[in-house]
A and B are shown apart, each in its own frame.
Chain A
Amino acid sequence: MTDAQTNTDVIIVGGGHNGLVCATYLARAGRRVLVLEANAALGGAAATREFADGYSVSTCAQWLYQLNPKVASDLELEKHGLELLARDLDTIALALAGNHVTLKTDSVESDSVSDGDKLAYRRFNQQMLKFSKLLASACERRAPKLLDNNFTDLLTLAKLGIGMKMLGKADMRDLIRLALINIYDVMEENFDNELLKAAISMDGVLGSHMGPRSPNTVFGYLYRRLGDVYGYRGPAVVKGGMGAVGEAMAASARACGVELRTEARVEKINLELDRVTGVTLVSGEVVDAPVVVSNADPKTTLEKLIGFRNIETGVARRVSNIRMQGNTAKLHVALKGLPDFKGLTDTEQGQRLIIAPTMNYIELAFNAAKYGEYSPAPAMDISIPTLHDKSLAPAGCHVLSAIVQFAPHDLKQGWKVAKAPFKNLVIDCIAQYAPGIKELIVASELLTPEDLANEFNMSGGHWHHGELAVDQIMMMRPFPGATQYSAPVDGLFLCGAGTHPGGGIMGLAGHNAAKEIIKRGTAG
């Protein structure tokens, strides 16, 4: 074993987007930062990869819709190469008959949607946006501790409280009432159109182990709508795929003097008594640093890198109880021509397409997952990025990428046997809406949650590094007692999606963690 003597102040384990954001802020504050990434590419879930000869795709996240504008401008991501080829895209809820429903941020368009629903949609949106704004006010700073009477924390709480009061009596009452119930009931209260209800509720369950009738789905929805607060009136398509976000962040980090090492997988975080001393890589190389910040999810960090045997029982138990079973698969299809979704123009095919005809369809899809089976009729969020970005496929060819719900990480029959049949099932399902697509397929791949877990080093393959639910947010994220980005080991911090505010290509977890580390000074 060698001691690299890197003279490093901070090691960041994992060069995911939050790790890069955190690294950049720390470097700007004068810390010497080393980022160690296991994979060859930086950016974590903001990744692009060639999956078939000449065909590339965003392998994990496929849309950019909630990148925090402060983070984006602080890191000068545009200067460092981030370019949006399309933004503020519509969401189109597909119907087998072709009479789809188009959702924009403030209106809904379809022959089949009544005027009442259209009006209700406008009102619903306004209200949800108000709530998301309130949520956003708590996202850009550390989550407050409740018992410590710290001034900053009291300020955060006061702002939240005042913000709630400012909503007005009716909205405040609604927020309190809605926040803990399920999106299904809220949809039933507001709308008649099945497609509309299903498309909205889809946003409440994406990436989670929840169906529309599960509690916390309204919160999931509000969390997703943070994007609106950050200036995204619908998803955006990044030039070069989501990997370009990672690259821009990496470039920004490098420009600030951060040392980035890829293919440098950390095997363990080293301890002396209960203080970190650095890390050991799988190669056996030891790198010392007084502060280690883990961008890995809390389970990976504390169970594998630190080891439960080095953590007190109560904490180990809470970490092991974090709900983070991924339930989302990714389908990537290389096509030799543009598919033909029924009733959609080419422009419309470039929008965000949803397969979820009714809320019950999603709920039934989720039912299977509850019992460790994949959905017989999955719900999907589909993107054809090549309609905006020709660089991803050979000329005239296209790539289709779909987020597929539900596919439980812990599948009863095991993914080894189930992967091929599930992929065929998903393609068959898409073919119902886009007849003839199968003839266009050149290649295809399905990433199960197990694959996502392996490829992106996330326990359970969960996008958000832990379910976004009321019991796992704010001061309870990643687990009660480990708030404000520090961990139960001195010198160790967490900066990934598993911490407040949570997942999504947003950058706030990394931003907040950096602020906290800077605030605590060099002692860590």
Chain B
Amino acid sequence: MRQHDETMLLQTPFHSRIAKACELNQWDDWKGYTTPHVYTEVEQEYFAIRNSTGVFDLTPMMKYRITGPDAEAYLNKLLTRDIRKIGVGRVAYAVWCDDAGQVMDDGTVFHLGENDYRLCAYNRVMDWMMWSAMGFDVTIEDETADVAALAVQGPTSCSVLKAMGFEGIENLKAFGIRTYAFDGVILMVSRTGFTGDLGYELWIDPDKAELLWDRLFDAGKNFGIRAIGGAALELARIEAGFLQAGIDFVAAEHAVRMGRSRSPFELGLEWLVSFDKPIFNGRRALLEEKKNGSRYRFVYLDVEGNKPAEHSFIMKGSKVIGTVTSAAWCPTAKSNLAFAQVESKYGNVGEVLVAEIYYQRELQWTRVLASCTVIEKVIFNPPRRRQTPAADF
């Protein structure tokens, strides 16, 4: 692999295959890696996720390996949720905060073994992780480049993996981990993803990346397998109601302006905060916030009409009370969904607000005031997502 001092953007171990498939040649820069924005057609890729199988290269996701006698205790201080409750072979969604209780990032923790964890993050957080390690006997390694990873998502994803010979994969529960032998190395499969659908993530030695890709696409030939880019994934994750760091919140250490960062409460992530463990970063500030109230509330909005309320102001009457962070017309749920942050006194479920939507048609800007309703959950939540054994499609 080429190093950063030789090139501005690195390539993932799947690049040879991706470059061949990426007909539109539309690329993104994801944390210093060249990644496909769209291969052929966003809609086709999106519908692969929802109707067959979409394959997404998530190698650039930051991956930190945490080992050592204090690994569990360490993560319990770093993360807001109680990590003691995550058993070996399980994965958990988590956020972490600075001392002020402001979210630095969200990600997933993989409990690989006794005091052996992998933390997947959007942002580079090695410095914070090292500072947090003072007083703990842990080893923290950035293994981002040492592990190649593919997300295999969609109704037929289990069938594809079965066709590859991964016996019993259908019995893997959501947020579970299994390993398989693959060409002399260990392939880790987790039933996780960022699409809200049935899906898996495959983790492997980069040397075997191309072989994995080839075998996967061979096995998936009859299951509608298709490589998907960042644009399709973005649509799927909005439909699934998942937050994206950098879009739905500004990482606390990146926020330059006062008050632009958000607490877990303000992002609707209270369920990830466990006050009954002795200490974690942000605990004191979050207790204070719980007592005094939050500044903002995160809401899902069902927006009238079909114009995505991207970056819209949210109003109550004529007063601006918030803004939209993510929005899309969701094709499967057939809903015009928006994520918004509103002043905390607004946003009760059922409350009707107004989105001020601007859109351009042939050089002309148009403004609509779309009524929108606060909903408790996103509409898209198919039973196949959690069903075990996973169904054949």
Residues on A close to B: CB < 8 A? 271-274, 303, 307-317, 320, 481, 488
Contact = CB atoms under 8 A, between A and B. Distances in A.
Contacts of A273: 278-279
A316 B283 contact: no
A303 B135 contact: yes
B282 interface: yes
A309 B135 contact: yes
B279 A312 contact: yes
B135 A274 contact: no
A319 to B, nearest CB: 9
B131 A316 contact: yes
Given A308-B135, A317-B134, 7 more contacts: A274-B278, A308-B134, A309-B136, A312-B99, A312-B280, A312-B283, A313-B78
A145 to B, nearest CB: 16
A320 B134 contact: yes
Nearest to B282: A312
Task: Label chain B's interface by main secondary structure.
Answer: loop
Nearest to B275: A273
Contact of A312 (B70, B74, B136, B281): B281
Contact of B98 (A271, A272, A311, A314): A314
B128 interface: yes
Residue of B74, B77, B136, B282 with highest tally of chain A CB at under 10 A: B77
B99 A314 contact: yes
13 contacts: A271-B278, A272-B278, A303-B135, A307-B135, A308-B134, A310-B279, A311-B135, A312-B99, A312-B282, A312-B284, A313-B131, A314-B99, A315-B99
Given A307-B135, A313-B131, A316-B131, A274 B283 contact: yes
A311 B278 CA distance: 10
A9 B214 CA distance: 71
Contacts of A311: 135, 279
B134 A274 contact: no
Interface of B: 70, 73-74, 77-78, 98-100, 128, 131-132, 134-136, 278-284
B278 A317 contact: no
Contacts of B70: 309
Contacts of A303: 134-135
Contact of A313 (B73, B132, B278, B284): B132
Contacts of A313: 77-78, 98-99, 128, 131-132, 134, 281
Nearest to A309: B135
A316 B74 CA distance: 14
Contacts of A315: 99
Contacts of B281: 312-314
B73 A309 contact: yes
Contacts of B131: 313, 316-317
Nearest to A317: B131
Nearest to A272: B278
A489 to B, nearest CB: 9
A309 to B, nearest CB: 4
List the 8 closest pairs (A to B, CB-CB), nearest first.
Answer: A308-B135, A314-B99, A309-B135, A313-B132, A308-B134, A312-B99, A317-B131, A312-B281
A10 B366 CA distance: 68
Nearest to A308: B135
A299 to B, nearest CB: 12
Contacts of A316: 131-132, 134-135
Contacts of B136: 309
Nearest to B137: A309
A277 to B, nearest CB: 12
A393 to B, nearest CB: 46
A308 B78 CA distance: 12
Contacts of A320: 134
Given A303-B135, A317-B131, A488-B284, A310 B278 contact: yes
A513 B156 CA distance: 67
Contacts of A307: 135
A483 B282 CA distance: 18
Contacts of A272: 278
Residue of A309, A316, A317 with highest tally of chain B CB at under 10 A: A309
B98 A274 contact: no
Nearest to A313: B132
Residue of B132, B134, B281 with highest tally of chain A CB at under 10 A: B134
Contact of A274 (B78, B99, B132, B279): B279
Contacts of B73: 309
Nearest to A318: B99
B70 to A, nearest CB: 8
Contacts of A481: 99
Contacts of B279: 273-274, 309-312
A157 B136 CA distance: 40
B95 to A, nearest CB: 15
